[in-house]
Amino acid sequence: MIAASVPKVELSQISQRFGEALALEPTYLSIAAGEFVAVIGPSGCGKTTLFNILSGILSPTSGTVRIDGEETTGKPGHVGYMLQKDLLVPSLSALENITLGARLHGRVSKQQREEAAQMAAHYGLGDFLDHFPHAMSGGMRQRVALMRTLAFAKDVMLLDEPFGALDSQTRLEMQQWLLRVWVETGSTVLFVTHDIDEALFLADRVVVMSPRPGRVSEILDVALERPRGLDVLTTEPFMSLKRRALDLIYGREPGNLDSSGSDS
Amino acid sequence: MSRGVAVTPRASRRTWLTLLTPVLSILGLLIVWDLVVRIFSIPKFVLPLPIDAFATIGEDWDSISRGIIATGQVFTLGFVIGAALGFVLAVVMASSKALFQALYPIMIVSQAIPVVAIGAALVIWLGFGLAPKLVVVAMIVFFPVLVNVLDGLRSVDADSVNLARAMGASRWRNFLVIKLPATLTPLFSALKMSATFSVTGAILAESLASTTGGLGVYLSTMQGRFNTPGVFAAIIVLASIGLVAFLLISVWESAATPWLRTSVVPRRRRFRRGTS
């Protein structure tokens, strides 16, 4: 057990300006080890800015990023990172793409290859290790991309709409698959999505952001039991959380909603 | 694995067809040439029969083989130098916007000047040796390589570069692993295109800056004597040099870019559990 006083990821007073425009208001966010946090909000709400700051490729105008209590502001290489585009290197096989992190730091050792292959096989990619990306389906490619993220840094993973380009059936499969990976690896996950169902289905907490300037407008606790099956999507607690989120995003007052009474 | 095995017979038959088709079509071209000369009774000093042109290659083999060596040297060295310069300059120009904006106009101007004009100046500066000829050929190869490799480098998704940065990759590693593979296809397109241009360049260079040796000199000697079979002998040899260069580059391209043709990596790159 990690002491509750040291969060896995902590953003303090992070803000970002691009010229005159304020892309992100000073933001505080703390994520516990092993927590699954989703971020939803319309485009322009600063999600991508937040991600680039967390991954270290963007230095914020103000504020600090801490991972395990250690400051990593503006320093890349501490967290895994995955986008809607799989960004697989077309000239590398699935396994070579999974070990991309090691390749980018020099040679891929035999042990790294073995471990990556074992992990990929465990998560259903065993038959595709030697395939080039063009020979794989969209869902498979996203699995490879997630394995690449895991192989590089399984502690903290930033997933920016990773399933956004998949058809809805594949997406449902991928969500359940991701939950399995998350449970088994104990990763801390920050997951950006446009899809409220996806956010509520996956996450422990949902950070709702709003645009101009980008800011955190509310954080919803998703107190739904785990493991979650697809049937959770139609339960009353899920529905009331969804109504809440819709109201937050589209800016209506939650006045006449019959809430389940216990969500605050 | 089993799928790979099942595909093999059909794939190998296709390989044979792809090898056979060009041979047949060139043979067809020679037959058409032969028929045209015979049907229209074209005199030998206007257009010789293919067989006469080939016979001349045999008769003049001494000077032609020396010509192949001399011209081949100009062609090969000039080609390699031009391609290498084009590639390196593309990488340099892609690395900084300021450098790109400063150098690109100069590159375009360098192409707007006719090679013949540059060649004349080069002869004055460098004399009749190998150097001016190499420069002429290199100038021809250089530009397509530069432009294509630049396009390849700029086609790389900025998010891919960011991903590699987020993984803590150095600029050099990022270039090597993410960007370099994207230059291969456009690079090979440029090389194939230039392979045929550079033969022309080599002949042109020889006509500007040679007194002995190369096929360009052989060609103008034959032309001076109104020896049409000799001219066509030179044409056939020159075309063959271009063709061989083109084929060699194509074979190299196939080996260097397996992902464009197959779904599984080459055998030596496959994963084997627990082996040395």
Q: Does B167 reach chain A within 8 Å, measured CB to CB?
A: yes
Q: Which residue type is seen at B91? A: V
Q: Strands (DSSP E) along B144-266, which ranges?
A: none
Tens-level pLDDT at each residue, chain B (276 residues): 344 444 455 667 777 887 788 889 999 999 999 999 999 999 988 999 999 999 999 999 999 999 999 999 999 999 999 999 999 999 999 988 999 999 999 988 888 888 888 888 888 898 888 889 999 999 999 999 999 999 999 999 999 999 999 888 999 999 999 999 999 999 999 999 999 889 998 998 888 877 677 899 999 999 999 999 999 999 999 999 999 999 999 999 999 999 998 999 998 889 886 554
Q: How far is CA A45 from the centre of its chain?
A: 16
CA distances from A107 to A111, B172, B259 (A): 11, 14, 21
Element containing residue B69 per DSSP (H, E): helix B61-95
Closest CA–CA distance from residue A87 to any residue of chain B (Å): 6
- In angstroms, rounded to a whole number, what is the distance separating the alpha carbons of residues B263 and B208? 49
Chain A interface test: which of B271, B272, B275, B276 (most A C-beta within 10 Å): B271
- In angstroms, rounded to a whole number, what is the distance separating the alpha carbons of residues A222 and A191? 14
Please tell me the predicted confidence (pLDDT) of residue B6: 42
Please tell me the predicted confidence (pLDDT) of residue A177: 92
When pLDDT is cut at 50, 70 and 90, the band that residue A121 belongs to is very high
- In angstroms, rounded to a whole number, what is the distance separating the alpha carbons of residues B178 and A198? 32
Measured between beta carbons, the chain A residues lying within 8 angstroms of B175 are none
Q: Write the burial class of residue B164 (CB in 10 Å: 0-12 exposed, 13-18 middle, 19+ buried).
A: buried
User: What's phi and psi for A108, nearest 5 deg?
Assistant: -90, 120
Residue B163 is nearest to which of A87, A114, A129, comparing CB atoms? A87
CA distances from B66 to A214, B212, B213, B217 (A): 74, 10, 7, 11
B119 contact partners, CB below 8 Å, separation of at least 6 = B132, B136, B204, B205, B208, B209
Please tell me the predicted confidence (pLDDT) of residue A108: 92
Tell whether the torsion through CA atoms of B115, B120, B126 and B131 is positive or negative.
positive
Encode pLDDT of A144-157 as tens digits.
999 999 999 889 99
Please tell me the predicted confidence (pLDDT) of residue A252: 59
Please tell me the predicted confidence (pLDDT) of residue A263: 40
Measured between beta carbons, the chain B residues lying within 8 angstroms of A50 are none
Residues B201 and B137: beta-carbon distance below 8 Å: yes
- In eight-state DSSP terms, residue B48 is -
Please tell me the predicted confidence (pLDDT) of residue B1: 39
Measured between beta carbons, the chain A residues lying within 8 angstroms of B272 are none
Tokens of A156: 């903290």
CB pairs under 8 A between A and B: 88
Tokens of B54: 């080939």
Tokens of B248: 């060699």
Measured between beta carbons, the chain B residues lying within 8 angstroms of A100 are 164, 167, 177
Nearest residue of A to residue B179 by CA position? A89
Residue B166 is nearest to which of A57, A91, A133, comparing CB atoms? A57
* Range name among A44-58, A109-123, A226-240, B262-276 with the lowest pLDDT average: B262-276
Please tell me the predicted confidence (pLDDT) of residue B9: 57
Please tell me the predicted confidence (pLDDT) of residue A260: 42
Residues A240 and A263: beta-carbon distance below 8 Å: yes
- Asked if A117 lies within 8 A of B164 by C-beta distance, the reply is no
Chain B interface test: which of A59, A95, A105, A130 (most B C-beta within 10 Å): A130
Q: Which residue type is seen at A46? A: G
User: What's phi and psi for A193, nearest 5 deg?
Assistant: -155, 160
- In eight-state DSSP terms, residue A126 is G
Residue A135 is nearest to which of B177, B181, B263, comparing CB atoms? B263
CA distances from B162 to A82, A154, B154, B158, B174 (A): 11, 19, 14, 6, 9
Encode pLDDT of A185-203 as tens digits.
999 999 999 899 999 999 9
Please tell me the predicted confidence (pLDDT) of residue A210: 87
Element containing residue A38 per DSSP (H, E): strand A36-40
Complex ipTM: 0.83
Tokens of A54: 């967390």
Rounded mean pLDDT of A122-147?
94
Chain B interface test: which of A92, A104, A105, A128 (most B C-beta within 10 Å): A104
Closest CA–CA distance from residue B230 to any residue of chain A (Å): 48
Residue A91 is nearest to which of B162, B165, B259, comparing CB atoms? B259
Closest to A163 (Cα-Cα) out of A194, A200, A189: A194
Residue B166 is nearest to which of A55, A93, A117, comparing CB atoms? A55
Residues B133 and B74: beta-carbon distance below 8 Å: yes
Q: Does A85 reach chain B within 8 Å, measured CB to CB?
A: yes
Here the contacts of A26-29 (C-beta below 8 Å, separation 24 or greater) are A26/A62, A26/A63, A27/A63, A27/A215, A27/A216, A29/A207, A29/A216
